[in-house]
């Protein structure tokens, strides 16, 4: 018997990838960092591969090694590694690694020597985000060092890549500008004799809106989980994969003017039935959802009454017939009138990415639905806690 659960529809992830796949000639790197945006890294990865992804993308070496240990042999790029990380383990496991500075390139060379095999490297050009990567000014020096390491057999430059500032605002001037800087960076690389098999810059938003940015490989993350990074309806059919819900643990009648939850930040306007939902910020519900988070209970979407606590929050149900054991749905695909993660993001002033990712690693059992490998098995290393029966 469950009291709260996060259900993941792995077929939705597979189908979302297949939909993206149908819209491009590029290969697809499914981004499964941060525990697959909260969906479970390994099941999400397997579902994405079943949908036609041929690469996996993660932030950290640790995530990449977890994919390898699970037996996934497809190319994996890990792009965020601090100095001193055991990158030779990545090299030994055939993990592709990022170099966006001379220091990072040096670490790759050291790792290659230690592993006694060339490291598969992706050189990152900072085309304007000013996050990782070499600025155009520093780019030639990085290329020169990479060309030397490649000639020495320590490095194989597999990719040149970059990342967008504002692809979720189609038409934004930074997009064309970054593409121009990227094209120039590729031309410069060619002059250094570096012409990698994979050039990649497109995240979900650019995958959905800018075919001219697809190059050889696209790196969608949020879209494979069925969420759209763009304002308005998605340009292709995407199905949200995560549903978060819980059973009401208690209901009670209270008089008008009753203050509710910590700080009494909400007061009933009339006599009402309150319903207690056993989910809180310890589970991934943002505390910022206090008094604004939308929840489907019974026939109505209600707004959280008062503060979200660590383990629970309250709904004011008026005179509606709600009872302990009823199911409250925080968000899902929207099939039954429930809010979506995007509705939650809009309500609390964040992005849908954060809503689903917060539920990763929480104590709520995650249950997998679907026909792809990794579905519904409590023996799957990515599933936890639940019986995996797929039924309630
Ligand atoms: C997270 C990430 C992505 C995926 O971005 P989405 O907007 O979720 O598609 C792609 N590339 C890099 C470098 C990232 O950090």
pLDDT tens, 312-343?
999 999 999 999 999 999 999 999 999 999 99
Indicate which residues carry an active-site annotation: 33, 262
Is 337 within the bounds of a domain? yes
pLDDT in tens, 34-50: 999 999 999 999 999 99
Half-sphere exposure of 14 (CA within 13 A, CB side): 17
Q: What is the band of 373 on the pLDDT scale with cuts at 50, 70, 90?
A: low
**Averaged pLDDT, 350-360:** 96
Structure token pair of residue 138: 């520093």
CATH number for the domain harbouring residue 265? 2.40.37.10
The whole-number pLDDT of residue 377 equals 43
| Same-domain pairing of 210 and 246 | no
Work out the pLDDT band at 374, boundaries 50, 70, 90: low
Query: For residue 362, what pLDDT is reported?
Result: 79
Instruction: Determine the atom of ligand 1 nearest the C-alpha atom of 29.
Output: 10
Distance CA 177, CA 172 (A): 9
C-alpha distances in Å from residue 133, one per residue of 101, 105, 137: 6, 11, 11
Whether the Cβ atoms of residue 183 and residue 147 lie closer than 8 Å to each other: no
Rounded Cα distance, 129 and 132, in Å: 8
Q: Does 5 reside within a domain?
A: no
Q: How remote is the CA of residue 220 from the centroid of ligand 1, in Å? A: 6
360 pLDDT higher than 60: yes
Determine what percent of the chain is predicted with pLDDT higher than 70.
95
Rounded to the nearest angstrom, the gap between the alpha carbon of residue 272 and the centroid of all alpha carbons in its chain is 39
What is the number of domains present in the chain? 2
- 259 Cα to the center of ligand 1, angstroms: 43
Does pLDDT of 149 surpass 90? yes
Pocket test for ligand 1, best of 29, 218, 221, 230 (most atoms within 8 A of CB): 221
Name the nearest CA neighbour of 254 among 280, 273, 235, 281: 273
* Ligand 1 pocket, residue 342 CB under 6 Å: no
Q: Which two tokens stand for residue 313?
A: 């929050």
Note down the domain range covering 205: 10-225
What confidence tier does 361 reach under pLDDT thresholds 50, 70, 90?
A: confident
Render pLDDT for 171-181 as a digit per residue (tens, 0 to 9).
999 999 999 99
Residue 88's CATH number: 3.20.20.10
Confidence of residue 390 (pLDDT cuts 50, 70, 90): very low
């Amino acid at each position: 018997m469950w009291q709260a659960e996060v259900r993941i529809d792995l077929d939705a992830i597979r189908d979302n990838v297949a939909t993206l796949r149908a819209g491009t000639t590029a290969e697809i790197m499914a981004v499964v960092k941060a525990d697959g945006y909260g969906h479970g890294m390994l099941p999400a990865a397997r579902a994405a591969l079943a949908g036609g992804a041929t690469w996996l993308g993660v932030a950290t070496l640790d995530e990449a090694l977890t994919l390898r240990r699970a037996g996934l042999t497809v190319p994996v790029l890990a792009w965020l590694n601090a100095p001193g990380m055991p990158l030779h383990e990545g090299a030994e496991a055939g993990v592709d690694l990022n170099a966006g500075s001379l220091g990072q390139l040096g670490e790759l060379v050291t790792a290659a020597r230690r592993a006694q095999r060339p490291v598969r490297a992706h050189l990152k050009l900072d085309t304007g985000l000013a996050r990782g990567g070499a600025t155009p000014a520093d780019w030639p020096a990085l290329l020169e060092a990479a060309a030397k390491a490649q000639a020495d057999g320590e490095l194989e430059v597999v990719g040149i890549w970059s990342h967008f500032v504002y692809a979720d605002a189609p038409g934004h001037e930074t997009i064309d500008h970054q593409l121009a800087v990227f094209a120039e960076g590729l031309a410069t690389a060619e002059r250094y004799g570096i012409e990698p098999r994979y050039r990649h810059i497109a995240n979900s938003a650019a995958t959905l809106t800018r075919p001219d940015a697809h190059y050889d490989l696209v790196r969608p993350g949020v879209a494979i989980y069925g969420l759209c990074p763009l304002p308005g309806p998605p340009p292709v059919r995407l199905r949200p994969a995560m549903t978060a819900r819980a059973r009401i643990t208690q209901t009670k009648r209270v008089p008008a003017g009753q203050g509710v939850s910590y700080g009494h930040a909400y007061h009933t306007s009339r006599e009402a039935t309150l319903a207690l939902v056993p989910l809180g910020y310890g589970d991934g519900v943002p505390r910022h959802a206090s008094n604004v988070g939308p929840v489907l209970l019974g026939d109505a979407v209600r707004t959280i009454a008062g503060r979200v606590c660590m383990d629970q929050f309250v709904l004011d149900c008026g005179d509606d017939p709600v009872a302990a054991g009823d199911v409250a749905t925080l968000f899902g695909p929207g099939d039954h009138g429930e809010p979506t993660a995007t509705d939650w993001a809009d309500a609390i002033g964040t992005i849908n990415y954060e809503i689903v990712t917060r539920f990763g690693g929480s104590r709520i059992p995650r249950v997998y639905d679907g026909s792809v490998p990794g579905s519904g098995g409590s023996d799957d290393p990515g599933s936890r806690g639940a019986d995996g029966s797929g039924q309630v």
